[in-house]
A and B are shown apart, each in its own frame.
Chain A
Amino acid sequence: MGASGLILRKCMYLFLLLIAVLVPQVVTSRYILQILIICYIFAVATSSLNLLLGYTGQVSLAHAGFFAIGAYGVAIMTTRSGLNFWWALLLAAAVSALVGFLVGIPMLRTRGSYFAIASLCFGVIVGIVAGSWSSFTGGYLGILGVPLPPPLNLPGMGALGFQSKAAQYYLALALLLLTLFVMHRLVNSPLGLSFMAVRNNELLAGAVGINTFAVKLLSFTVASFFAGLAGGLYASFMRTVSPEVASIHLMFNWVVYLLLGGAGTLAGPVVGTLAITALTEVTQSFKDYSLLVFGALLVVAMIYCPRGLVGAWEAMQRRLGTPLKRFRQVGVRDAKG
């Protein structure tokens, strides 16, 4: 891509960001805002899954487990210990990362589908523990009354409360942007390159001197951290947690968001989450048949754009040239004519 393409791309991102920032000023429906908030939180979870599945090539199905650890971490620390939400969020994400590190050590020694199965087991175990350890987790009823984030004292702006949906929206958006920023920096660093090397050819990665196990473990730990962060915020906004947060259903949704949006691209998780959520909302009137529409669309998408929506978009751009290039060519032709 040339310099002009890069500038155009930056302009596009700024434009999208502007729209995202303006949404609560235009949209007053609490329903739509709530859906967008959940979208952003799930996009954080999907982005972290993307680091593992898309960039490092490890198909992990443990992600809802880490999301649940973050959610329960915040719920337990805020309701039982009365810890400040922000500290609880950070701690819960750290616990999630630590658990990821510890279970990653035995689990990442397996490969391919065996790793997928092992990680799936971990996710299921987290759900069972959450449901059965009643004294600690509240059992299948879960924990009620998780507090909203307390007002944030920003210098020069005064206290920023999170009672309104608009404020919650901005917090979720901020978390998503933070996640995307970290992912962007990570995958464009030499370290990120070693993640992709492991995905492309693990044996060769070892042969060029990459400690492939350490790379996979790091990717797994970072992904767990962000999944925990997403879970923590989710618990606070929902005001409650139950073993549902560890459900396979939730995790498979993220996998679908990721695959449809485009694994191994930064925008993929966000595009996939928004697109599928929008689709689910539109097809809601079909009731149970919406899954039918959904399934058919997924099959079509996997056949015609195996690299997801973002992959299809990039392929189209390559074929047509960037809009600016086309514009210039037209300009030249006009000048001659």
Chain B
Amino acid sequence: MLLRLRGVHVSIGEITIIHDVSLEVRKGEVVALLGSNGAGKTTLFKAIAGVIKPSRGAIEFEGEEIQHLPADKVVQRGLVLCPEGRQLFPQLSVYKNLLLGAYVRRKEKKKVEQTLEWVYALFPILRERREQPAGTLSGGEQQMLAIGRALMSGPKVLLLDEPTMGLAPLVVARIAEVIKEISKAGTTVFLSEQNAHMALKITERGYVLENGRVVLEGPSARLIEDPVVKRAYLGV
């Protein structure tokens, strides 16, 4: 098991956002985390990446508990979060943003160079714009850069938090393609989405989060037929 959560609770201040969440992500899988606004997807991802600490429960990565580690140590182990809302270094160039993504393995120049070429191949627009400040890119390009940057560290597991939020349908389709390619290249992907249709089409399994609890789980093909999912997320 690559990533396993056991009875995780997360509180922010007095309020408990995540209640007793247990889930698993196996090596090579693409797993979806569905949920509406405020369900707790981002909080859960932040807890996995070590940005915030769970109040109870255990997060295991490659068989070792990591819930006590600071964020930079979690990244070093190969668990990387691509945060929601296209977080970038806006004043730095596209190239420098990508380079910073590889910060944890900056000594391995060869590998960084290879990954950079791969990212440019995934998103040719980033190569064209490499000298431009990241803040001047369009929304879709910023999201591509955010994903590219997360890939630069050579993650074992990529946590993608709502990568299609607020993007045009064409861009959404392109990002779905890229997620498939990332998976094919051997990276395990854990994808949080409100766009259940897209997410369930490109994933193998999924979890549905509601009010901080996992209410449903199973193969994506079955979830897409589930009446609850259909009503809540697919609008049919």
Contact = CB atoms under 8 A, between A and B. Distances in A.
Interface of A: 190, 193-194, 196-197, 199-201, 203-211
B106 interface: yes
Contacts of B104: 208-209
A197 B92 contact: yes
Contact of A207 (B51, B90, B106): B51
A46 B105 CA distance: 33
Interface residues of B toward A: which range? 20 to 34
B83 interface: yes
Nearest to A206: B71
Closest A-B pairs by Cβ, 3 of them: A209-B75, A200-B89, A209-B104
A203 B72 contact: no
Given A207-B71, A208-B149, A201 B88 contact: yes
Given A204-B83, A208-B153, A190 B103 contact: yes
Contacts of B49: 207
Contacts of A197: 89, 92, 100, 103
B72 A206 contact: yes
A208 B103 contact: yes
Contact of A204 (B76, B88, B91, B96): B88
Contacts of B81: 207
B101 interface: yes
B75 to A, nearest CB: 4
A58 B81 CA distance: 26
A192 B26 CA distance: 37
A196 B89 contact: yes
B87 interface: yes
B90 A200 contact: yes
A334 B49 CA distance: 61
A29 to B, nearest CB: 42
Given A203-B51, A204-B83, 17 more contacts: A193-B92, A196-B92, A197-B89, A197-B103, A201-B87, A204-B88, A206-B72, A207-B71, A207-B75, A207-B87, A208-B101, A208-B103, A208-B153, A209-B71, A209-B104, A210-B100, A210-B103
Interface in B124-161: 149, 153
B75 A200 contact: no
28 contacts: A190-B106, A193-B96, A193-B100, A193-B103, A194-B100, A194-B103, A196-B96, A197-B100, A197-B103, A200-B88, A200-B90, A201-B89, A203-B51, A203-B87, A204-B83, A204-B87, A204-B88, A205-B100, A206-B72, A208-B75, A208-B100, A208-B101, A209-B71, A209-B72, A209-B75, A209-B153, A210-B72, A210-B100
B91 A200 contact: yes
B5 interface: no
Nearest to B107: A190
Nearest to A1: B131
A194 B70 CA distance: 17
A201 B51 contact: no
B41 to A, nearest CB: 16
Contacts of B88: 200-201, 204
Q: Which of A196, A200, A205, A210 has the most CB of B within 10 A?
A: A200
Contacts of B149: 208
A211 B99 CA distance: 16
A196 B103 CA distance: 13
B106 A196 contact: no
B91 A196 contact: yes
Contact of A209 (B76, B92, B99): B76
A210 B105 CA distance: 11
Contacts of B83: 204, 207
Contacts of A207: 49, 51, 71, 75, 81, 83, 87
B103 to A, nearest CB: 5
A9 B96 CA distance: 22
A65 to B, nearest CB: 29
B100 A206 contact: no
Contacts of B72: 206, 209-211
Nearest to A198: B89
Nearest to B77: A209
B87 A193 contact: no
B89 A204 contact: yes
Interface string B95-114: 01001110110100000000
Contacts of B100: 193-194, 197, 205, 208, 210
Contacts of B103: 190, 193-194, 197, 208-210
Contacts of A206: 51, 70-72
A53 to B, nearest CB: 14
B94 to A, nearest CB: 13
Nearest to A190: B106
B99 to A, nearest CB: 6
Contacts of A190: 99, 103, 106
A200 B133 CA distance: 12
A131 B91 CA distance: 43
Nearest to B149: A208
Which residue, of B87, B88, B149, B153, has the highest number of chain A Cβ atoms within 10 A? B87
A56 to B, nearest CB: 13
